[in-house]
Structure 1
Amino acid sequence: MNIIYLIFIKHFKKAAVIFFAIPFAACGQQASLINQTKTFEKMTQTKRENAVNSNGTHATDTATFAAGCFWCVEEQFKQLNGIISVTSGFTGGDVANPSYKLVCTGTTGHAEACNIVYDPSKISYDELLAAFFVAHDPTQLNRQGNDVGTQYRSAIFYHNDEQKELAEYYIHKLDEEKAYDKKIVTEVSPYTVFYKAEDYHKDYYDNNMDQPYCRLVIKPKLDKFRKVFKGKLVNE
């Protein structure tokens, strides 16, 4: 099947269901609940690191998150001040160099994910975790709304022990505060290998704003995300 046709059919179906069922209303409710917790406040107020490389430049770090369709995740994290780059790709599975078409079958074990390179002097990993939990509904198992399958699972792929400990700590605290109606099902796994997605996925929202999926799914999620993180956005 032609990949362009696959994308059109995949997201035409999603857009049709979204238009009639409005399933993403729940995402907005979840975001407002977490935004009211003490844990969220702690995450967003954590002290940032001012690490400097030997050549005098600011050190960078990387976070890797899976939170449903990577078109949504990429556009949301691009909004945050301190983000250097967001790369869409695939990780967590056992198939080398998978294509988007293959990952869409749900047979590779990979999740659609984003590698997020950031400046720790401008944004902390704790703040990125806060953004991760606002960006999607982490209580949905192997799906986000009408995107269904293990490739759309909620997952944090940690790069070191500190990231692992922070992820598990905040999941526990959010569950303890009942930030969501259900328990968080986010997978916390070690980062292994990340396969960059095809070039046409980069800046997908910016390049396809008139597409139904972009208008009916990404834009509402983006608007809610920007509202929650007002004051922490690029060019504010």
Structure 2
Amino acid sequence: MSGRTALVSGGNRGIGLAVARALHADGDSVAVTCRSAPPPDDDFLAVKCDVTSTGSVDDAVTEVEERLGPVQVLVANAGITRDALLVRMGEEDFLDVLDTNLTGAVRLVRRTLRGMIRRRHGRIVLISSSSALSGSPGQTNYAAAKAGMVGFARSLARELGPRDITVNVVTPGWIDTDMTAALPGEARDQAAATVPLGRFGSPDEVAAAVRFLAGRQAGYITGAVVPVDGGIGMGH
């Protein structure tokens, strides 16, 4: 299964960049989407893409297809946060997070499915969050979007199973990224204390789960939700 074309949205940093590197290490030709800064690796094709725009998604995937070939592996990772308690959250902040995190993933999946269906093979992995299943105060918008990924993936898995296209979800917990690095030291310690393993995870640990789900060994796994959260969700 090496030598495939893989597309990772939001692959210019953090979890997305770690996933791109893991797939590249397996011999895949990797494209990453980014809105501004490209990834630090020259080994990837970087394409500008705003996942809230259907036209932008179409242009980005078309560029990948023309330069690398049909997308056989899609990792939908791009996302944003607009945290606030619901009573203080504006409707725009709620809808923007849903549009980027959930509908953005749907746009990417719909566009890349054309080639997968024609070839009767594909791997789709959606990057959700442990907050989708356990909830998180101040993140009703984010948790709702990430939870929506689970229902979307499981319904899609039933639609696409006969065509040898698997659809799975990975739910990271507290991971060392630019976002969590901005937390004050006391807040990081408190967060780590809620994790049974007592620490934050690394982007590489999330990437390892994605790499497995995108590979040959996971050919009989679809509709699954795989937690990479140090046990904070206890399998949920």
The answer, yes or no, to whether TM exceeds 0.5 is no
TM-score norm. by structure 1 comes to 0.29
TM-score norm. by structure 2 comes to 0.29
Bigger RCO (CA 8 Å, 6+ sep): 1
- Higher helix fraction (1 or 2): 2
